[in-house]
Chains A and B, each alone.
Chain A
Amino acid sequence: MEPNPASTGVTPPGEQPGVCEAAPKPPSPIALLTRTQYDNTVEDLLGDTTRPSTTFPAENQVEGFRNNVYAHQASPLLVEMFQGAAESIAARAVSTRLDTLAPCAAGADAVACGRSFVRSFGMRAFRRPLLDDEAQIFDGLFERSLANEGYAGAVELVLTAMLQSPQFLYRIDSIGTPTPETGAVAFGPYEMASRLSYFLTGSMPDAELFEAAAANRLATDEEIETQARRLIATPRARQMVREFHHQWLRLDNLPALMRTASELGAGSTELGRDWLASLDAFVDHVYWEAGNASALFTSKRVYVTPRLAVLYETSASANGLTAVELPDRAGLITQPALLALLAHPDQSAPVLRGVFVRERLMCLPVPPPPPTVNNMPPDPDPNATTRERFRVHTESDECRACHQLIDGVGFGLEAYDQLGRYRSEENGLPVDVSGEVFGTGDPELDGVYSGAGELAARLAGSRRVADCIATSWYQYAVGRTPAEADACSLAQVTAAFERSKGDLRELLVAVTLTDGFRYRAPLPEEAP
């Protein structure tokens, strides 16, 4: 089959037809399931909702992403945890639902029942039909176990082995048919089913995807698009979108964040989980109610728990989250969770905030400070604003080189303190929220501005920021930091995002239609 990047209009305007077609394709290495993917998969495969991965070691991260195919790898600890989890999952499955898992009528031949279980259940566990030698390995285990363990015990052992087999633990995209004449290998139908399901739902393919794969209906853009749209509408897609934001925005430390707030009484309060729930709800709102990137930057919506309502001087129902519109808010960068995360316990952190906006939202890494600089934030001063205390950054040439990139972004958020509360004064002095975005190469971004609202409007209107969002989604979808061979795919996805005028769900669809999602480089062994 020919790679066909030019269909459904994802070709960037002005791009020569065939340019992407001829370009080299990126590799698609095997990918170990992340903890979230493991838990979701076990739930969908067996109805086991125990989330067994809570004791697994955390994935090695790259730029916040936990699903990097190079960094996330087996370790002695993880392999042991896989063993323990497989044993308890299998024991639970056999003790509670053997009849549906591996039905065997009274008087039926146990060996035949076992073979049927291996093939039918194995197909879902491996996310493709078992090859003959694979099935025979499990047949052998089943038959050897039958005498000592009985039928249920033999099923349990086969299940335990399946859950530790690499075909279950890894997503494997490279058992395809090479098409050397184009230098690209199209993913096979079952591979495509797993690519779609793990990207859009963080789990194994559902029944409909398996059907489509079995009928070889995942080969054209139209077929893939149909499935992508269907998956995006499932509840799991909401979980996946939240998960993406946890990684992209690097929220790892948010749940455990403890802060002191006089409004909430003496001592520290564990507010992190409230903030995380609040941000999750905001992401839900942006993706599933508003649906557009402009809402990500301009929505005044904030979700508050009863405790957060006290902090942000609004009202909330007694339980759960309440949606409120706060006039002093402007989208993501003014979400209380981020403002609190990007702060020190006793003061706001314009540098952390500025670096965050540049690195995460503009995809512009900031150079490091010189090693010997004292970059401890100056102690709070009752007679000065935070901004005034950071004046040194712009007074010294050495500091200014980088801090002109950072501080002018962070200062625009000075109207929010370390708890994300709005303030017009700090220590009785008026807060100066003027700022300047500098050196981004995007005329929509660069220049002086005043306050979070104007900064957010710049972000909303910026091609660089839109490209950064699209690139981050692509990075998440392929589980790699984009490299040279991804250039065409990035051009496809950023162009599609622009053409849809920032439609976030269309962005997810567009990712599934890129070259990098549909094709891989041939292995050296496959080269002509």
Chain B
Amino acid sequence: MNRRRRHLVRERMTRRDLLLGASGLAVALPLLPSLTARAQDVAAPKRLVLMYTPNGVVPDAWKPTNVTSETSFELGPTHRELAPFKDRLIFFSGVDLAIALSAGPGGLHQRGIGGLFTGRELQDGTQFVDGCGQRAGWANGISVDQEVARHIGQETLLPSLELGVHALDNDVQGRIAYAGPGQPLPPMNDPLSVYDRLFLSVRGDDSASDRLKRRRASVLDAVKDQFTALESRLGSADREKLDAHLTLVRDMERRLAVSGLPEGCPVPEQPPALDPASEEAMPLIADLEIDLLAIAFACDLTRVASFQISTSLNRVRYPWLNSMGEGHLLSHAGPSNESSRAELMARDAWHSGRLARLLQRLSEIPEGDGTALDNTLVLWGNEVAVGNTHAHTDMPFLLAGGTWSFRTGRALTYSSASHNDLLVSVLNAMGVPATTFGNPDVCTGPLSGLV
């Protein structure tokens, strides 16, 4: 069905039909007309999204084909849905996850996912044993989204928003975002909770909202004083832990000053209650989260987000693609296994389609002379290059957007570049004047040739 016809069908369906997805197709929360009108009048901030999908890709379907020059290439079959945005993409060849190549604690998936957005190795630890007997701690540093949030996240309702789709493993192989060394941030896997978090505190009339803020301010004052009273009686390790918590309380207090939902940003319709543990619900959850993220950006409720589909070493099936293999085991199939390869390619294409949906949604929000897409940068990564080799070389990174900083519409080739350099480039594009990120031993500065 082409887009025009699907659009017509949509109009005839009831809202309930749409959300339940009569044919398994997830359908959007509508971006309200007044919201799009509003967005035009406001000086647009820059936004960052980190996207993660697990267990490697099928490289020959993922990589650009017929590459005759940087700018002359065709999209691989995995990325068909990204065709409308081809001129906003940058593909990479020869960028390694150098941080995971060096010997260090943890298995290959663990080291990969831990280092992916932190550029750091895992902490030593006797703590975690994953399904494969590898012991390691959490990643040993802040992730790039949180570093950006420290710089540009302080004026919005939420400094950052961590979203997950069936990202339900709560140990090192299931975390991509870190507030600091050993401080993983959990993703939200339930669109209804995301909705509540974004809109519950800011809806209602002004006087109710003012009263809530006043009450919260008095309560948080007392809470802060209790932290201080307690900390004076604790040892230094416990004090440090409480300090981290107190900082979060102070952040909440500071955000009370953030005016609620801006003018022209009405509260969207509430998404349905869905079971985050259901494999069947994954496509609807993913699309609802993408739509909520687009609205959150449009209304400037946050400027930094991560979007994580499942976790490394998962056992997730994708029933809506008729892919009934269990994720991680499936990814171990060699290239000669045709049926597994087809399943993996279908998953890769669905993942790529989520990125396409996000870019599409952003491109529907007018901003200044263009759209929100012009002010958004997406970095998509994976913890290994290929599932059956677990290689950390030639990683399937994809940049989308960031056109204010990067020359896009290109397929770039490097020779064993370290992905830490790419993370520095992301920081720089987001206005953070860094020259290094993560472990400095595997970082030489911004990646050449991007800007």
What is A's interface to B at a CB cutoff of 8 Å? 27, 29-30, 55, 57-63, 66, 68, 70-71, 73-80, 83-84, 86, 131, 133-134, 137-138, 140-141, 144-145, 149, 157-158, 160-161, 164-167, 170, 172, 174-175, 252-253, 255-256, 258, 268, 344-346, 355, 359, 365-369, 371-377, 481, 483, 523-526
Contacts and interface: CB of A to CB of B under 8 A. Distances in A.
Given A55-B193, A74-B248, A256-B279, 11 more contacts: A30-B234, A137-B222, A140-B222, A157-B215, A157-B218, A158-B222, A161-B219, A175-B234, A253-B315, A256-B275, A355-B131
B330 interface: yes
B133 A365 contact: yes
A167 B132 CA distance: 38
A174 B184 contact: no
Interface string B318-336: 0100001110011011100
Interface in B205-224: 215-216, 218-223
A79 B252 contact: yes
B233 A175 contact: yes
Contacts of A141: 218-219, 221-222
Contacts of B169: 252
B329 A377 contact: yes
B329 A344 contact: yes
Most chain B CB neighbours (cut-off 10 Å) among A58, A131, A359: A58
Interface string B143-179: 0000000000000001110100000111100010001
30 contacts: A30-B242, A55-B193, A58-B168, A60-B138, A60-B170, A79-B248, A80-B197, A134-B229, A137-B222, A137-B225, A137-B226, A140-B222, A160-B219, A164-B220, A164-B223, A165-B223, A165-B227, A165-B230, A167-B226, A172-B238, A252-B168, A252-B170, A256-B277, A345-B324, A345-B326, A366-B133, A367-B133, A372-B389, A372-B390, A523-B234
Sort A-B residue pairs by CB-CB distance and give the 3 closest, nearest first: A523-B235, A57-B186, A368-B132
A70 B329 CA distance: 31
B102 interface: no
Interface stretch (B41-49, B122-130, B408-416): B122-130
Nearest to B161: A77
A367 B134 CA distance: 7
Given A137-B226, A368-B132, A75 B252 contact: no
Given A75-B179, A137-B225, A359-B129, A174 B235 contact: yes
Contacts of A376: 325, 329-330, 332-333, 337, 340
Interface in B271-295: 275, 277-279
Interface in B168-204: 168-171, 175, 179, 182-188, 190, 193, 196-197, 200-201
B245 interface: yes
Interface of B: 107-108, 126-129, 131-135, 138, 158-160, 162, 168-171, 175, 179, 182-188, 190, 193, 196-197, 200-201, 215-216, 218-223, 225-227, 229-230, 233-238, 241-242, 244-245, 248-249, 251-252, 275, 277-279, 315, 317, 319, 324-326, 329-330, 332-334, 337, 340, 388-390
Contacts of B245: 73-74, 79, 166
Contacts of A80: 197, 252
Contacts of B324: 345-346
Nearest to A74: B245
B388 A372 contact: yes
Most chain A CB neighbours (cut-off 10 Å) among B200, B242, B244: B242
A63 B158 CA distance: 32
A134 B229 CA distance: 7
Given A175-B233, A376-B340, A368 B218 contact: no
Given A157-B219, A376-B332, A376-B340, A73 B233 contact: no
A481 B127 contact: yes
A507 B186 CA distance: 34
B159 A76 contact: yes
B226 A165 contact: yes
A19 B330 CA distance: 52
A118 B238 CA distance: 25
A145 B185 CA distance: 35
B316 to A, nearest CB: 10
B218 A145 contact: yes
A167 B226 CA distance: 8
Contacts of A525: 235-236
Contacts of B162: 77
A174 B219 contact: no
Contacts of A161: 219, 222-223, 226
